[in-house]
Structure 1
Amino acid sequence: MSTPPPSKCAICQVHRVAWTKPRMDFCYECLPGGPVVPPPCRSCGARDRYFSQGQCDSCHPGAPMHPGACRSCLAWGVHRAHSWYCWSCRWWATHYPMAECMVCGFHTTIGDAGMCRLCSVEGRRVKEPGRAVDLAAVSRNGQQLYLANLHHTYVPRGKRHRSLDEPAAVKPPQHRLGVAEFTPVKWRQLLLFRMPPNQGALKRRIAVPDTEMLAFCDSVLREHAARHGWSKKLTNEVKRSLKLLHALQDTPGAKIHASDVLELPRIGGTALSTLEILAAADLLIDDRTLAVRHYFAKHTAELPQTMVTQLQTWLDVMIEGSRQAPRRRARHPQTAHLHILGMSPILQTWAETGRQSLAEVSRKDFVAALPTRGAQRNFAEQGFRSLFKVLKARKIIFTDPTRGLPITPVNATVPLPLDSDAIRRALNSPDPAVALAVALVAFHAVTSPQLAAMQLTDIRDGRLALQDRTIPLAGPVLTRLSAYLDHRSKTWPATLNAHLFVNRKTAPRTTPVSRNFPWIAAQLKPQALREDRILQEIHATGGDVRRICDLFGLSITAALRYANTLEHPDLANGPIDNSVAPSADH
């Protein structure tokens, strides 16, 4: 298996070279002065199947029909032409996930019982009639190897073998007959301490037949998978993950915590899709902690306890809002993250000087602790204004040291044009999603959040309906849109996701893609590309601010930021290249 095949003939590029030692670059048919009749195989004597180096296509170790061992079940008799897999293991690879076998420890395709195919065949061979497979007895006396394609894999009722090139048929949702609604238990077994799972006990629990809870989850899984167009492999990954969760439960039959689901990847399970199924079955307790709370705990670990309590009150109001007077709406977690980023160095300094509470901070202390300039000063001012305002409203501090102080203006940046060659390369990217996203931003200055939230129904008759604006799409955008829609329908034909942009993670769901998709592959920043497009338009129109506001939905203040570049010394000396995107006049 490790011997690579010899190179092809330098002339016909069809047959392999006649021999490799000494080096030869032609086959027998293309030899100078030929064609020459190849000699018989020096190993088996075959005369009509010559391959290279005096051997036929079965005897040469690099030939496509040279026999070897299966990569998964180690069965003898597979060929290089079939990627060193037997027929049953090829079927397993399309239906089951890759993980570590709980019996032999081999990292390969794992079935529902947590075993590889070799251990499954061995288990059926050694098991007693009428009893479940004893995992301890499977590997007690070693493994019995066999010839390839003699032991066919077990296919459940209603399924059949199909070729890898044949698409899986999406069946309509069907409820399992005889499966009643499952009601989780109300009580919960408390633990004195948590121990790592015992592998032997975990193997025995997975091997038992499905309980009422697993049967109910399986019916929900099948219906959800058929409705969202999940692949067989993803469906079986979630089924195995549900079995692992059920085996690890401290209280059998109780609802499952999301924090336990997030630990599944460590033992070979999948977390995100399993969370969806548990939520659909109403068996999930969402106890996940926001990332901003972990960030808060990390940056307040060395502060005095009184100060941490005051900061915790502020953080709860920021994230969850407040219904008591004075009422306050919840803010985005990223806002609290930026506030903590700006306040953390100053809070550490105050703690080192002996302050135990924020009530001890005076206006003089606050002004002296602020950075002199830059974004860090803006973050600190905004954070402390929010912090002291909440604490004063809750009567935790006596005075607000930030009240009445002037706000430091944010330093405005000058938008700069991008390299036109980089934009052209991204527009002609072989990835249809990258080409379409770059075209929408380069021609119409669409923002990254608007791209992620864009629906398929937002584009009608060559026009894009974007909030309160209707944008006629440019010709290059329509070309790339057509190519992307063909790619989307071919790659994910059964997806229910109504968003325009989907990827491997969002196609089985209805959620939008992240704001980083597909910009990591494009190697461009959408904000910089948008600024480049607006700069081209402001220079093409001679500084028409009203037109810029109507065309891109900008405010007067934002449009003036681009209009001021007309007199900027770094941008006035050289013309901006308008060859990538047309102006609004065309």
Structure 2
Amino acid sequence: MVQTPGHALDLAGANRDGHQLFFANMSFHRRGAPPLSPEQRAPWKLQHQPTVTDPRPADFGEQMTLFDLAPDPQVIAERVRREDNDLTRYCAALVREHAARAGWSKRQRNDVTRSLRILQGLRPTPTAKVRATDVLQLRQYSGNVISTIDVLAAAGLLIEDRPTRVERYFAAKTSALPPGMKDQLEVWLEVLTNGSRQTPRQVPRDPKTVLAHILGIEPIIHAWAAAGFQSFAEVTRADITSALDETATARRHIAGNGLKSLFRTLKARRLIFANPTRGMKASPKSTNMPLALDPAVVRSELNSPNPVVALAVALIAFHALTGQQVRELQLTDVRDGHLIVGDRSIPLAGPVRVRLAAWLDHRNRTWPDTANPHLIINRRSAPRLLPVSSQFPWVGKTLRPRVLREDRILHEIHATGGDIRRVCDLFGLSVEGATRYLDTLEHTDLTLKGQRVPRT
């Protein structure tokens, strides 16, 4: 490559400063790459458009790293002190747009710009896209992770390679299994999460369903591995029947469904000789009997000094919303003294209005410039447009949304004398789901001398 035309090849001179190794049949062009267009040479000079293209030339492949070396903190700090670089100039318009739309403070906007400068130094090549796992390294440099990922995704410069919740859970539950069983389980997980176009075809399953399957079969497959099984091809129908008999009644249904899904997929991929679960009847669902909560506990959380806790508890205690419905409520869903949930218009109870007003005052004082449309926000979601996590604001609290909602439905079924149609219409339950609460009316353990136990 450095040979001068008309002169002999100087190998010693070419290798004086080191030798770059390449793998065969990669994206290396001996004659050189085509010249770059002005847009590719200087993308930051272009006026920002809603859809931003990758500044890296499309003809170039990604340069694979031969060694993974930890970056030198001093070198990174020196690069950050530079006023600007290609990445920050390219994303400058997007940073301003996100800051204006989400109500970022000046400090947060500067943190994102500083994080982009750090990423420019961490990238293997100046024009490579940024992996989301590399953005997570910003925490050790006091960088902003979440907002930086949003900006890079909007710019089309992000490679999303973070493991999902299902993948993390699967890896934690299968790390100690034999290699043969683990490989077969990975094939099963791939089909569940991404679906299959080959016979038998299958649509991707909901992540909650996948988690339930893994939760159900996890103790069974570990018991088989401890017994010496190296592959699921060794499992017989008798092994499955014995394992289900030893499984607790509450988990037997999901364990049976998980095993059926696993062996059906492995048989379709010809990883086992026969499906031992074929023709097996599904285990009956196990349901528990809903019980009333202690009113003192509910009253204590209703009067919590934290306004968001008091509002969340009030919305479920008085109107039996689910935890997901509470998280997804938006400011526009509260109007004219009514709460709009889907196609339902719910008149707000008096105690709920009081707690709603207290929370809105706290919300406006704490985040006056936020553009998040959701009713309930926190420190992490205020500068974004996403709802809060499922754990907020229930972390460290005695009550849980599901149990509190069950208590509300149970109270209604007793107050109406078992009017199942009214309960179904009021809470959006199916007849089967409402029957679970109806069975408590005449339950032997919930009656005293033939009389129904009164609720306080």
Same fold (TM over 0.5): yes
For structure 2, the residue ranges without an aligned partner over 5 or more in a row are 1-43, 49-53
- Paired with 2:234 and 2:63, the residues of 1 have a C-alpha distance of 46
1:341 aligns with 2:215: yes
Contact map agreement 2:253 2:286 (CA 8 A) in 1: no
The answer to whether residue 454 in structure 2 is matched with residue 575 in structure 1 is: yes
Local SS of the residue matching 2:65: coil
Q: Please, which of 196, 200, 205 is the counterpart of residue 322 of structure 1? A: 196
Deviation of 1:444 (Å): 1.0
Letter in 1 for 2:249: G
The answer (yes or no) to whether the contact 1:417–1:532 under 8 Å persists in 2 is yes
1:217 paired with 2:96, answer no
Question: Residue 471 of structure 1: SS of its match in structure 2?
Answer: strand
Supply the distance in 2 between the matched residues of 1:521 and 1:295 (Cα, whole angstroms). 23
2:363 aligned residue:
488
1:497: which partner in 2?
372
Name the CA shift for 1:394/1:191 in 2 (closer, same or farther; >3 Å). closer
What 5-or-longer segments of structure 1 have no aligned partner? 1-176, 578-586
Are residue 445 (structure 1) and residue 317 (structure 2) matched?
A: no
1:299 is displaced (CA, Å) by 3.2
Q: Which amino acid aligns with 1:184?
A: R
In structure 2, the partner of 1:183 is: 55
Contact 1:434 1:521 in 2 (8 A): no
Distance 2:227 2:289 in 1: 40
Tell me how far apart the structure 2 counterparts of residues 372 and 247 of structure 1 sit (CA, whole Å): 53
In 2, are the aligned partners of 1:545 and 1:563 still within 8 Å (CA)?
yes
Q: How does 1:184-583 map to 2 (within 5 A)?
A: 184-185=56-57, 186-370=60-244, 371-520=246-395, 522-573=397-448, 574-577=453-456
Q: Rg bigger for which structure?
A: 1
| Residue deviations 1:259-279 (CA, integer Å, cap 9, x gap) | 100121122222111101111
Aligned equivalents of 1:534 and 1:329: distance in 2? 34
Stretch moving more, 227-236 or 340-349: 340-349
CA distance in 2, matches of 1:345, 1:537: 38
Q: Deviations over 1:289-323 (max 9, x none)?
A: 22322332343334343332221111001111122
- The secondary structure found in structure 1 opposite 2:439 is helix
Aligned pairs, how many?
402
Distance change >3 Å, CA 467–CA 219, structure 1 → 2: closer
TM-score, length-scaled by structure 2: 0.82
- The structure whose RCO (Cα within 8 Å, separation 6+) is larger is 2
- Greater helix percent: which structure? 2
- Asked whether the 8 Å contact 1:340–1:383 carries over to 2, the reply is yes
- 1:477 to partner: Cα distance: 1.5
| TM-score, reference length from structure 1 | 0.64
Contact 1:184-1:283 at 8 Å conserved across structures = no
Distance 2:181 2:131 in 1: 32
Residue by residue, what CA displacement relative to the aligned partner does 1:412-444 show, whole Å, maximum 9, x if unpaired? 211111121221222222222222211111111
1:465-524 CA-to-partner distances (Å, cap 9, x unmatched) read 222322222122222222222322332233222222111111111111122222226531
Residue type at the aligned position of 1:446: L
- Cα 1:251–1:554 change in 2 (3 A) is same
Aligned 8 A contact 2:87 2:116 in 1: no
Structure 2 vs 1, CA of residues 399 and 441 (structure 1 numbering), >3 Å: closer, same or farther?
same
The 3-state SS of whatever aligns with 2:387 is coil
SS in 2 for 1:470: strand
| CA contact 2:85–2:120 (8 Å) conserved in 1 | no
Deviation at 1:193, TM superposition (A): 1.4
CA deviations 1:153-195 (Å, max 9, x no partner) are xxxxxxxxxxxxxxxxxxxxxxxx9565671354443322112
One-letter amino acid of the counterpart of residue 576, structure 1 = R
Percent identity for Structure 1 against Structure 2? 51
Q: Which amino acid aligns with 1:218?
A: A
Whole-Å Cα distance in 1 between the matches of residues 147 and 134 of structure 2?
A: 14
